Amino acid sequence: MTGLDPVIHAATRLRIVAALNALEPGDKVAFSALQKMLGLTVGNLSVHLTKLEAAGYLTIDKTFEGRKPATYAGLTAQGRAAFEQYLTDLKALLGETP
Amino acid sequence: MTDNPAAHQTAAEPPPGQPPSDPQPPEHHPPDPEPDLDPRLAMDLSREAAARGAALGSGVGRLDLATWGLIWLIGYGTLWIAAPDSAGEGPPAWAFVVFFGLLGLGVAVSAIAGAKHGGQLVGPSSQAGMLYGFSWAVAFAVGMSTAGIIVGRYDLSGAVVGVIYNFLAALITGSLYMAGSAVFKDPPMFWTGVVMVGLAPIGALVGLPTGYLVMALVGGGLMLGGFALETWRSRRAAQPRPSPRRRPT
């Protein structure tokens, strides 16, 4: 047991959170852009976004652009704080300076 | 907000006959099998994904640097090659057709890339990027049209006209690069702007056609160098880091 946050410590969710954390706070990325950026299937991305949203780490906004629906996802302040803590814990495990 | 994205989609049904813009998740989809995640792999995955996210968040900066670097290099290079050696005469009309054609191409590329990128990201940085893009259009439109009024009103010679337009292009480009460094929190962008602003007095001092060569090589070269630097930084950030050496016990 590593003691790392189990919500984040899964390959796909870690990649999602790390990518979203690199954006400016308040920024949200389109579902299709996130899918393409990380090379994930629609279903797999959707499942992991749902888990992150349930943990309060992420918000999902559904909207219409013209007549087309669009979905955007972005990290919450809680999600950013959790990821920072996760990185601190990870670096400690690896013996890196936080 | 519910926990199931499929439920969100049901609540936001597209109009009849309208294809959705985003792929729709299936109702019940089991997650794909996840690999075992040791700490080193986790750190590598995190850095790789963060670099991808940062590339998306940085907008079309790299594309703009490459596009405008080439346009300055080829456009001003064409004016320099075509210009007669004698001072007081400007380049022939065909050289200006090439130059302004390239400028138009650059504006089109930047606008299309900006619009495409704008559809991928929403939020504060997207708004800032849009306003920054507008500031380029307004500054160049007002600056160059004002120069045109001055040139027409005072019947200036061809050499003076060329110096004025070069001075303005360097000043506006450099100033907007410096301002952009604050918008995008990018210190190298500030120093790029400083050099570009520095081209304004240099171009005026050396006169034409040498000023065209300075704009092509220093201005265009600087932007292409910035493109190479950003590409290197992006690739380096995405690379896995070597494991630290274990201390002997």
For residues A43 and A52, the answer to whether their CB atoms sit within 8 Å is no
CATH topology of domain A11-94: Arc Repressor Mutant, subunit A (1.10.10)
> What are the chain A neighbours of B43 within 8 Å (beta carbons)?
90-91, 94, 96
Write out pLDDT tens, residues B197-217.
Answer: 998 898 888 888 888 999 999
Helices B39-57, B221-238: crossing angle, 10 deg rounding: 150
Please provide the average confidence, as pLDDT, over all residues in chain A: 90
Bridge partners of A71?
A62
For residues A14 and B46, the answer to whether their CB atoms sit within 8 Å is yes
Is residue B179 less than 8 Å (CB to CB) from chain A?
no
- Mean pLDDT across the stretch B177-185? 85
- The dihedral of CA B33, B35, B36, B41: what is its sign? negative
Residue B67 has pLDDT above 50, yes or no: yes
Residue A35 to residue A24: CA distance in whole angstroms = 19
pLDDT at B102: 92
Write out pLDDT tens, residues B84-129.
Answer: 876 667 788 898 899 889 988 888 888 887 777 767 888 888 888 8
At B30, give phi and psi (nearest 5°): -70, 145
Residue B233 has pLDDT above 80, yes or no: no
- Mean pLDDT across the stretch B18-37? 58
> What are the chain A neighbours of B31 within 8 Å (beta carbons)?
12, 44, 47-48
Q: What band does B9 get if pLDDT is binned at 50, 70 and 90?
A: very low
Asked which of B7-21, B61-75, B211-225 is least confident by mean pLDDT, the reply is B7-21
Asked which of A41-45, A92-96, B145-149, B244-248 is least confident by mean pLDDT, the reply is B244-248
Three-class secondary structure assignment of B45-86: HHHHHHHHHHHHHCCCHHHHHHHHHHHHHHHHHHHHHHCCCC
Please provide the average confidence, as pLDDT, over all residues in chain B: 78
pLDDT at A98: 61
Q: Quick one: which of B144, B134, B184, B150 has its CA closest to B167?
A: B144
Residue B56 has pLDDT above 90, yes or no: no
- The dihedral of CA B54, B60, B64, B67: what is its sign? positive
pLDDT at B22: 54
Cβ-count burial of A14 within 10 angstroms (0-12 exposed, 13-18 middle, 19+ buried)?
A: buried
Asked which of B29-43, B131-145, B210-224 is least confident by mean pLDDT, the reply is B29-43
Residue B190 has pLDDT above 70, yes or no: yes
pLDDT at B221: 93
Residue B91 to residue B211: CA distance in whole angstroms = 12
Tokens of A29: 């990325």
Q: Domain-by-domain residue ranges, chain A?
A: 11-94
Question: Which residue has better confidence, B115 or A32?
Answer: A32
Is residue B7 less than 8 Å (CB to CB) from chain A?
no
Give the C-alpha distances (Å, rounded to integers) separating B182 from A32, A96, B156, B186, B200: 30, 31, 37, 7, 22
Q: Scan for tokens 């590598």, then name that residue.
A: B44
Q: What band does B154 get if pLDDT is binned at 50, 70 and 90?
A: confident
Put simply, the answer to whether B121 touches A12 (Cβ < 8 Å) is no
Residue B232 to residue B239: CA distance in whole angstroms = 11
- Mean pLDDT across the stretch B71-94? 85
Three-class secondary structure assignment of B106-173: HHHHHHHHHHHHHCCEECHHHHHHHHHHHHHHHHHHHHHHHHHHHHHHHCCCHHHHHHHHHHHHHHHH
Tell me which long-range contacts B110-119 makes (C-beta under 8 A, separation of at least 24): B110/B60, B110/B63, B110/B64, B110/B67, B110/B68, B113/B60, B113/B63, B113/B64, B114/B59, B114/B60, B117/B59, B117/B60, B119/A30, B119/A65
Tokens of A63: 């909207």
Tokens of B91: 């380049």
Instruction: Choose the mutation target among B40, B41, B45, B46 for the interface with A, i.e. most A CBs under 10 Å.
Output: B46
Tokens of B1: 């907000």
Q: How many beta carbons lie within 10 A of that of residue B125, not counting itself?
A: 21
Residue A68 to residue B44: CA distance in whole angstroms = 37
Q: What band does B29 get if pLDDT is binned at 50, 70 and 90?
A: low
Instruction: Choose the mutation target among B47, B56, B130, B185 for the interface with A, i.e. most A CBs under 10 Å.
Output: B56
Residue B70 has pLDDT above 70, yes or no: yes
Residue B55 to residue B120: CA distance in whole angstroms = 12
Size of interface A-B (CB pairs under 8 A): 176
Is residue B127 less than 8 Å (CB to CB) from chain A?
no
